[in-house]
Structure 1
Amino acid sequence: MEQNYTIREFIEKTKQQDKGQGFFELETQRMLEVNLNGQVWAKAGSMISYTGGIKFEREGILEHGLGKFVKKALTGEGSSLMKANGSGKLYLADQGKKITILDLLGESIYINGNDLLAFEPSLEWDIKLMRKIAGMMAGGLFNVRLQGKGMVAFTSHYEPLTLLVEPGKPIFTDPNATVAWSGNLSPEFVTDVQLKTFFGRGSGESVQMKFSGEGFVVVQPFEEVYAADNQS
């Protein structure tokens, strides 16, 4: 239902509010506020506004060592990060996608490289390639493993759904709809020829991720198609 506002009513309804949630704060479901006093890593290009004294720096080529640089060269621009340093409020968003904040307490999690929005520098991280499916689907060839104590924010198209993986009951997902999974799981990739026949050669349904063991998988109700240069 359409609703009209006076300017004062509009400002009151949409103005920034301090909710006291800590380092990461959901200003809205699709906008992340970082209460910065130091450093944070964020997806390159995700900054939409900031206040205070904050400087932005593109991730250095060899900042995290040669091994990660080689992986980043293989995965393409989708995994590019920027570093924000200083003190102030930083606002991040990614194409209007819904944002979820997790506070890791020593656990580990894998997040699709395209869905990782921001994380605290206290977390250890590494890029994991999924080269086995190169040439079989459009993108989604890498993910990021984060571990330790600190906050991480990831995005999803619409509301995410978490599926519990139990021993003897594997879960199959479409790679283009898979957002994250617990750090103890190692997915296999399987090809379903029948689905390929039904949906066509370019469909992601022909390649599935199989999760076995005990843990969780986060999926979104959307098949995300990535840029072609992420397949190189």
Structure 2
Amino acid sequence: MQTTLGQFNETQSQDAFALQNSKLLKVRLEAVTIQAKLGSMVAYQGDVTFEHAGSGGLGRMLKKAVTGEGVQLMKVTGRGEVFLAEQAQDIHLIYLENDMITVNGPNLLAFDSGIDWDIRRVEGASGMMGGGMYNMALHGTGWVAIISDGPPVLLNVAAAPTFADAQAAITWSSGVSTGIRTDFKMKNLIGRGSGETVQMSFSGQGWVLVQPSEGQVFGATQQQSSQGGLGGLLNS
């Protein structure tokens, strides 16, 4: 049989986390146990077990319930290869070495067992918005896979004053401080505003990753999930 399918052969990378392509993640479970977004498995080979990961404690369970932030996770164990994806969004890998990043919950795809997480208030938001705003902080050593709705841009926040839409800013490094910038004018009261009244500001030493989208919406369930995060609180 003659085909043109050879270009899609499985990658032979020996890394625990490797990109099969820009939209498909391959994880070798011989090297690591992972947590991944619930329902993100598209294929696997070998002896693999999937189970609901829970919130990892009462404190985090209450934070998720109160803030609406976070993501439903599954624990993946066994021996073999697992392929993960989410709505054909672009996948990006970050390796943490006793470090931390902040991630918008809907943009988290998977992370390995050396990474712990918590839900934290976005700096500068509590005084501006009722109820505050929250994201997921991941810290430790290991791989983190995040997703973006299209190819993102990586901005060095030390190079210039940096601002972004709250749903477009999907992750930032540990040296970055956040704030809220408002540009409220009388025109907003009569429906003639720009639609960009509130932005997140970023400063310090580090980077912020910004996707070319304010987030994908796939039906009511996905919309409710995304609205539970930072952008939903801004728009509520």
TM-score, scaled relative to structure 1: 0.82
Residue by residue over 1:59-89, the C-alpha shift from the partner in whole angstroms, topping out at 9 and shown as x without a partner, is: 235xx22111111113448511110011111
Residue 146 of structure 1 aligns to a residue whose secondary structure is: strand
What secondary structure does 1:69 align onto?
A: helix
SS at match of 1:176: coil
Structure 2 partner of 1:185? 176
| Matched-pair contact (CA < 8 Å) for 1:24–1:34 | yes
Task: Tell me the distance in 2 between the aligned counterparts of 1:74 and 1:148.
Answer: 25
Q: C-alpha separation between the residues in 1 aligned to 2:187 and 2:167?
A: 15
AA in 2 matched with 1:94: E
The residue number in structure 1 matching 2:87 is 95
1:112 shift after superposition: 1.0
Task: Find the partner of 2:224 among 213, 217, 228.
Answer: 228
Once the two structures are aligned, what percentage of the paired residues are identical? 39
Paired residue type of 1:80: Q
Alignment partner of 1:31 is 2:24: yes
- SS of 2:113's partner is coil
Aligned partner of 1:157 in structure 2 is 149
Supply the AA of the counterpart residue of 2:115: L
Give the one of 4, 14, 22 matched to 1:10: 4
Please say which of residues 203-212 and 116-125 is displaced more in the overlay. Answer: 203-212
Aligned partner of 1:4 in structure 2 is none
Q: Give the TM-score of the pair, scaled to structure 2.
A: 0.81
Give ranges in structure 2 of 5+ residues lacking alignment: 218-222
> In structure 1, how many angstroms separate the alpha carbons of the residues matched to 2:186 and 2:140?
39
Count of residues paired in the alignment: 219
**Aligned positions of 1:123-138 closer than 5 A:** 123-130=115-122, 132=126
Structure 1: segments with no counterpart, 5+ residues = 1-6
Q: CA deviation at 1:47?
A: 0.8
* 1:106 is aligned to 2:106: no
Give the structure 2 partner of residue 53 of structure 1. Answer: 47
CA shift, 1:129, in A, is: 3.9
Q: Does 1:145 align with 2:131?
A: no
Distance 1:114 1:187 in 2: 19
Post-superposition offset of 1:10? 3.1
